[in-house]
Structures are given as structure tokens and as C-alpha cells.
Amino acid sequence: MPVTDSITILAVADLGRAAALYEALLGAPRSVDTPVYVELPVSAGHRLGLYQREGFARNTGELPAAIAGIAPAELYLRCDDVMAAIEVLERCGARPLSPLGPRPWGDEAAYFADPDGFVVAVARRG
């Protein structure tokens, strides 16, 4: 089954705060903007969706558990200006987890936890 595009959707506690962080990080305007859901383009064929935690339950029938610490998943974003991405994450309240440095797979990456506990890595090819 060929996939034509994909959306990564995160359930968040504060939609406005999360949308502001990812809109600044991705440098793209919201393509969908409703009271419970925001969507942003990431790259060709991929979008990031942010769902107010309570709204998320409308589709799944269950309220997602709040995260204590960090989530067992990450958004790995390769970007042209990794230093600018780091500045955006710091300015928007993301918590540093691991500084920018070389990784065994050849990239240089820095790791953060967003205010909802989702791990966000910003990277450039080494």
C-alpha cells in the first residue's frame, strides 16, 4: 500500500503554546487552525498536527495520558540552520536534553523536550 502523505499528530495540553512553538520552529503558517486542532507543513508530503488533549479523545474514544517526564517518541527534524532552530526551541520554553553534537549515524543533533514532554531533535548532516 503506497502512502501518499503523512501527518504526525501530538496530543497537547495547551494548543496555543504548542502551536506557537512549532510554528516558529518550522517557519511555516498553520494550514489548519481550529479551536482543538492545528496543522503545520513540515516538508513535502508530511505535516505536523497538534490536537488539544481533550479533543484528541473525540477520535480515539480515550483521553491520552498526560506525560510525566519525556514521551517515548521523538520528532527528528533536519534543517538548514540548526543554530536558529535551537534558539527557537530555547525561546519557546523547550527543555534542553542533549547539546548539539556528532551522533553515531553521522548527523549533528541537539535534543529538547517540548513543554508537553515530546522529544524534539534538530539536526544537520555531519
Residues 6 or more apart in contact with residue 43 via CB below 8 angstroms: none
| pLDDT for 60 | 85
Model pLDDT for residues 52-75, shown as the tens digit of each residue: 988 888 888 888 877 788 888 899
Ordered by where they begin, the domains of the chain are: 1-62 (3.30.720.120), 70-126 (3.30.720.110)
Q: Among 126, 65, 75, 64, which Cα is nearest to 97's?
A: 75
| pLDDT for 115 | 92
Distances in Å between the Cα of 9 and the Cα atoms of 35, 37, 84, 91, 105 are 15, 9, 24, 23, 26
Model pLDDT for residues 71-118, shown as the tens digit of each residue: 888 999 999 999 999 999 999 999 999 999 999 999 999 999 999 999
